[in-house]
Amino acid sequence: MLRRTIETREPPAATVAGMAAPAWRVIVFVLGIVVLATIPFVLKSFFLFQITLALIYAIAILGLNLLTGFNGQFSLGHSAFYAIGAYTAAIMMDGFDISYIWTLPAAAIVCFVFGFLFGLPALRLENIYLALATFALAIAIPQVLKSSLVEHWTGGVQGISIIKPDAPFGLPLNSDQWLYVYTVLVAMVMYVCAHNLVKSRTGRALIAIRDHPIAASAMGINVSLYKSLTFGVSALYTGVAGALGALAISFVAPDSFTFQLAVALFVGLVVGGVASISGTLFGGLFVLFVPNIAEHFSKGLAGAVYGVILLLVIYLMPTGAAGLVRLIVTRLVQQGRDSGR
Amino acid sequence: MSKLLEARALCAFYGATQVLFGLDLSIEEGGITTLLGANGAGKTTTLRALCGMVRTTGDIRFDGKTISGRATEDIVRLGIAHVPQGRGTFSRQTVEENLEIGAMTRSGRAAIAADIERVYGYFPRLRERRRQQAGTLSGGEQQMLAVGRAMMLRPRLMLLDEPSFGLAPLIVEELFGILRTLNLTEKVSMLVVEQNAALALDVADEAYLIETGELVSCGPAQQLRDDENIRRAYLGY
Amino acid sequence: MELFLHQVLAGLATGGIYACMALAVVMIYQAIDHLNFAQGEMAMFSTFIAWQLIQWGLPYWLAFGATIVISFAAGVAIERVVLKPLHNAPVLSHVVAFIALLAILNSGAGFIWDYTIKSFPTPFGNGPLFAEGLMSRHDGGMIAVTLLMLAFLYLFFRHTRIGLAMRAAAANPESARLAGIRVGWMTALGWGMAAAIGSVAGMLIAPVVFLEPNMMLSILLYGFAGAVVGGLTSPGGAVLGGFLVGIVENLAGTYIPVVGREMKLSIALFIIVAVLCVKPSGLFGRPIVTRV
């Protein structure tokens, strides 16, 4: 009663509406560029400012994603790195009169070092314990910034005001528009770098460490070094976002960088989709706009409305926006395959 | 002998992927049946399907009662014990607590205590380690603990998923000897999934052979053992 | 020396609050294998309910008991209604659900009862416990109740079958199902118990810190710290951890000159993190041994 061997067949290439994946990617990319380019001339100043801020949050969330999403290290303290980046920029511009161009690289370096140094002792801590340690960091940073020790540089409770930069080379853009363009340029560079990192051997090592650290180490990956470096890079991204944020708001103060910011970044990460680079864009938009929408609904119950929206979003998209998109695409591809049979 | 477990047109799915394609199984009361096949054939999935741990279509009946579509906890309470792949040990609890957990659906403290003693009788090594954290036990000991835990349910049918996996040959011999004893004296019917075909065919009464989710052959174990073509094609010896 | 003793005792007094909260934290961790960030807000909301019952004329102990029952039921309901749909979702999504719960409870309490500070009665009387100024009777009563709850929980988890079933369900849900345990209901029971314990913690803490919607956040943090220091697998360790955190915080505030009132929290936390670096599973936690 032996059965015949199964005939093997090459599955047809995945298509949606008759077009293959690479064609779709080009379309989305071009559309994206068109939208990005027209926004600053179409939107009112305040709305443009909000979009800029959403993009900045997206970069911050991308930093968190590299650490938590791709490397499995749970952090509830990224508001600390955001704050350090912001204050680095503010102190450079206000205290030392350095041009805003240098603040980004400086914030990057400072935050990388801080992140790496924090990552070293954090190596010994697992999940919950790491969460608590990062939580402690998030709580501590505003308090440190307020303390009398460093008041001289940080401006204490009052914080520091800085001046929003003007467009260079006499371009016909106001400062809000220029900031938008600047942010978009920085974001593009950072997103491309992140994408390349994740797709590289290093990226695969990070993911291996996330999924099975013992096996990863048995394969010769230096787990400790990678984990600390990832902390550093993650802090770098969020710190650069912080510096951009300081420029956008033109003001830094300790109470802008509380634990609530860390929570917001975390929520943005999950809602966008853990371990999804493009998901962070949705996360940034969510983090910026949904609390405002909640307040619109009801001033007194703003928090409750936000909570309910958050629950609904999580029910409908347990793997985040990116997960939902993936699901839809898979369904469409499946339908395409089935109809082609 | 009556049919203890019967499955008809059993299909199983992991998400959108179908892995079992219309199996027909029937287990007699009182015997040992073995389910053989290569890696990835669907043996573990079959056991999980019988316990309601994966999405299925088709009909499964235990002792005449329909169990397809019911929750795992309810199926287990009807008298089916499943010793899963990887043992399923409660690592943070002690050996004795593991056994107590196995008896969770039963009442009667004296009866449970007596059964724990009986398990220790079959597996004296477990008695030595009764207060030890179960996660520190060796593979063989954890397998014995898993079987012991299943016994505490006083099952009519025991499903075992690759009990010989990762164990030294001597331990495997010991274990299978105990399984045979359990079958005869405790009257526990068994469905044993195994990759080690020679071992399984030695102890079983009936045998099923599965390949990529479909049944290829079934019959008395002796018949499968003696069929050279099947042995060479599917069992590698 | 007298100052030292004084600060230690004062630390014990505040530590009692943290120990109580730490117990609730470990309780739910044992039941669901997660840290519940909404724990503090649940306790706060329960305390408001108790306050409302007292406002409506119920005698203290009746309101106390009713609140515990209501909180238990609410905890079970939250698990079955709010969290069940996320059953198969990744862990991080659960954390977001807790955050959502936190926001809803905090905002809801503020909306219903507003943000003015209210006082909450203590059943232990208002005088000092021993000599003047060392510890109040309420502090003593709070420590006593915390230890009582601890004893109850210890007996429950170690010596009852249902306690073992709950631990099994949390530790290995799939194997627990194969033993016939209804894992979903065990988790719900865990939530109910955690909510009940949290409500007791809230009702004991409120007389000291005064009742308002934001009262629990820093206390929850101290509770987490205490639970982690003690070791998340050990309720006794959590209570001890809570007391330790109280003492350390007070001593740090007194003896380290740099530390003003604002920094007390950070110093305490960093000392805890330091403990963790030396003993990653807490002082009394059992390191989880797994075979590769």
Q: Which of C178, C233, C290 sits opposite B72 (nearest CB)?
A: C178
pTM for the predicted model, two decimal places = 0.82
Q: Contact C12/C247 with Cβ under 8 angstroms?
A: yes
Number of H helices, E strands in chain A: 14, 4
Instruction: Determine, for residues A132 and C228 on separate chains, whether the beta-carbon distance falls below 8 Å.
Output: yes
- d(C-alpha B184, C-alpha A214), whole Å: 43
What mean pLDDT value characterizes chain B? 89
Please choose, from the candidates B39, B10, B31, B38, the residue with its C-alpha nearest in 3D space to the C-alpha of residue B221. Answer: B31
List, for residues A68-97, the tens digit of each pLDDT value.
989 888 888 899 999 999 999 999 988 888
Instruction: Determine, for residues B233 and A6 on separate chains, whether the beta-carbon distance falls below 8 Å.
Output: no
- Domain spans of chain C? 2-122+133-278
Topology (CATH) of C2-122+133-278? ABC transporter involved in vitamin B12 uptake, BtuC (1.10.3470)
Kindly state whether residue A18 falls inside one of the protein's structural domains: no
Kindly state whether B104 is in contact with chain C, defined as any CB-CB distance less than 8 angstroms.
yes
Instruction: Determine, for residues B72 and C172 on separate chains, whether the beta-carbon distance falls below 8 Å.
Output: no
- d(C-alpha A274, C-alpha C25), whole Å: 26
Which residues in chain A have Cβ-Cβ distances shorter than 8 Å to C86? 314-315, 318
Instruction: Determine, for residues C263 and A315 on separate chains, whether the beta-carbon distance falls below 8 Å.
Output: no
Kindly state whether C138 is in contact with chain B, defined as any CB-CB distance less than 8 angstroms.
no
- d(C-alpha C165, C-alpha B84), whole Å: 19
Q: What phi and psi values does residue B60 have, to the nearest 5 degrees? A: -125, 130
Q: Are strands B206-211 and B214-220 parallel, antiparallel or unpaired?
A: antiparallel
Q: Rg of chain C over CA atoms, in angstroms?
A: 19
Instruction: Look at residue A3 in the predicted model and tell me its pLDDT.
Output: 44
DSSP A299: S
Residue A330 has a CB neighbour count (10 Å cut-off) of 12
What mean pLDDT value characterizes chain A? 85
Instruction: Determine, for residues B216 and A6 on separate chains, whether the beta-carbon distance falls below 8 Å.
Output: no
Q: Which of A129, A140, A267 sits opposite C96 (nearest CB)?
A: A267
Instruction: Determine, for residues A271 and C110 on separate chains, whether the beta-carbon distance falls below 8 Å.
Output: no
Which residues in chain A have Cβ-Cβ distances shorter than 8 Å to B214? 3
Residue A19, pLDDT above cutoff 70: no
CATH architecture of B3-87+154-235: 3-Layer(aba) Sandwich (3.40)
Instruction: Look at residue A1 in the predicted model and tell me its pLDDT.
Output: 40
Residue A2, pLDDT above cutoff 50: no
Q: Which of B16, B212, B216 sits opposite A1 (nearest CB)?
A: B216
Instruction: Determine, for residues B88 and C167 on separate chains, whether the beta-carbon distance falls below 8 Å.
Output: no
Residue B211's closest chain A neighbor by CA?
A3
The B residues from 198 to 237 touching C (CB cutoff 8 Å) are: none
Q: Identify the H or E element spanning A160.
A: strand A160-161
Instruction: Look at residue A335 in the predicted model and tell me its pLDDT.
Output: 78
Copy the structure tokens of residue B148: 């012991």
Q: Contact C219/C17 with Cβ under 8 angstroms?
A: yes
Residue A4's closest chain B neighbor by CA?
B216
- What confidence category does residue A4 fall into, taking pLDDT thresholds of 50, 70 and 90? very low
Which residues in chain A have Cβ-Cβ distances shorter than 8 Å to C273? 121, 132-133, 136
Instruction: Determine, for residues C175 and B88 on separate chains, whether the beta-carbon distance falls below 8 Å.
Output: yes
Kindly state whether B90 is in contact with chain C, defined as any CB-CB distance less than 8 angstroms.
yes
Q: Contact A242/A60 with Cβ under 8 angstroms?
A: yes
- d(C-alpha A193, C-alpha A62), whole Å: 11
Instruction: Determine, for residues C174 and B53 on separate chains, whether the beta-carbon distance falls below 8 Å.
Output: yes
CA angle, B119 as apex, B114 and B123 as ends, to 5°? 145
State whether residue A25 is helix, strand or coil.
helix
Which residues in chain A have Cβ-Cβ distances shorter than 8 Å to C269? 135-136, 139-140
| Token pair 């010989």 in the structure block, residue | B164
List, for residues B117-168, the tens digit of each pLDDT value.
999 999 999 999 999 999 999 988 999 999 999 999 999 999 999 999 888 8
Interface of B with A (CB under 8 A): 16, 211-212, 214, 216-217, 229-230, 233
- Per-residue pLDDT for chain C (292 aa), expressed as one digit of tens each? 777 887 888 788 788 888 888 888 887 787 777 778 788 899 999 999 999 999 999 999 999 999 999 999 999 999 898 888 887 788 888 888 988 998 999 999 999 998 888 989 888 877 777 666 667 788 888 888 888 888 888 888 889 999 999 989 988 999 999 999 999 899 899 889 989 988 998 998 898 888 988 888 778 888 888 888 888 778 888 889 889 888 888 887 777 766 566 666 776 677 777 777 787 777 777 665 554 5
List, for residues A199-255, the tens digit of each pLDDT value.
998 888 888 888 888 888 888 888 888 888 999 999 999 999 999 999 999 889 988
Conformation bin of residue C17: beta by default, left when phi > 0, alpha when psi is -120 to 50: alpha
Instruction: Determine, for residues A334 and B214 on separate chains, whether the beta-carbon distance falls below 8 Å.
Output: no
- d(C-alpha A299, C-alpha A46), whole Å: 21
- Shortest Cα distance from A85 to chain C (angstroms)? 20
> What are B191's strand-pairing partners?
B33, B159
Kindly state whether C175 is in contact with chain B, defined as any CB-CB distance less than 8 angstroms.
yes
- Shortest Cα distance from C159 to chain A (angstroms)? 27
- d(C-alpha A265, C-alpha A256), whole Å: 13
Kindly state whether residue A306 falls inside one of the protein's structural domains: no
Number of domains in chain A: 1
Kindly state whether residue A31 falls inside one of the protein's structural domains: no
Q: Which of B81, B90, B136 sits opposite C172 (nearest CB)?
A: B90
Dihedral sign computed on CA atoms, order A100, A103, A104, A105: positive
Residue C115's closest chain A neighbor by CA?
A300
- What confidence category does residue A290 fall into, taking pLDDT thresholds of 50, 70 and 90? very high
- Shortest Cα distance from B235 to chain C (angstroms)? 29
CA angle, B14 as apex, B8 and B16 as ends, to 5°? 100
Full domain range(s) for residue A97: 43-163+172-258
Which residues in chain C have Cβ-Cβ distances shorter than 8 Å to B88? 172, 174-175, 178
What is the maximum alpha-carbon separation in chain B?
53
Kindly state whether residue A154 falls inside one of the protein's structural domains: yes
Residue B199, pLDDT above cutoff 90: no
- d(C-alpha B39, C-alpha B196), whole Å: 11
Q: Contact A253/A158 with Cβ under 8 angstroms?
A: yes
Kindly state whether residue A321 falls inside one of the protein's structural domains: no
